[in-house]
Amino acid sequence: MTHVLDMGFTRNLNRGDLAPQAAVECSGDFIANAIKTSLFTNRRDAGLQAGGCWSDMLYEDSFGSLLWTKQREKLTGKLLIELDQICRDALRWMVVEGHIKAIDVAVEESGPRAITITVTAHLNNDQTQTRTEEYVLQEVN
């Protein structure tokens, strides 16, 4: 999935888009960019035959997460467990490709329709890098 990360990620009101790195305010840090892009790019859902991103047209494997498929669900303990697994699945490629040793994820409710995703990447140099991202679910009518 490294090839997808030649682009930077910008997020505005939970709608993300990829843009050339120079046009995005980011530190240029690969791990931070990889975490954010992996979590907030819509992975194709084969069961729904929906979603996906531009890179699906170029590469065999779909990139990103299925967070978008849970947008309209009621925020419960069960959903938090599902969201935690979705985040782990989205980030697993960084371990598989050898960019980091391991990844820890914690998903917590931070508001009526909001969650906080805390990701700790265990780097190959035995240091850790922790990122915290906020994610707001859509209002359920």
For residues 114 and 88, is the Cβ–Cβ distance under 8 A? no
**Maximum alpha-carbon separation in the chain:** 48
Report pLDDT digits (tens) over 59-87.
566 678 889 888 889 999 999 999 999 99
pLDDT grade, residue 49 (50/70/90)? low
Q: Is there a domain that residue 75 lies in?
A: yes
Q: Check residue 44 and give its pLDDT.
A: 66
Q: Is there a domain that residue 120 lies in?
A: yes
Q: Which two tokens stand for residue 135?
A: 């994610």
Report pLDDT digits (tens) over 86-137.
999 999 999 998 989 999 999 999 998 899 999 999 999 999 999 999 999 8
Q: Is there a domain that residue 141 lies in?
A: no
CATH number at residue 87: 3.10.450.40
| pLDDT for 28 beyond 80 | no
* Domains contained in the chain, number: 1
Q: Which two tokens stand for residue 79?
A: 């959903």
How far apart (Å, rounded) are the C-alpha atoms in residues 97 and 136? 30
Q: Kindly give the interhelix angle for 30-40 and 77-96, rounded to the nearest 10 degrees.
A: 130
- What predicted TM-score, i.e. pTM, was given to this entire model? 0.75
Enclosing domain of residue 33: 2-136
How far apart (Å, rounded) are the C-alpha atoms in residues 57 and 72? 27
Q: Check residue 25 and give its pLDDT.
A: 38
Q: Is there a domain that residue 17 lies in?
A: yes
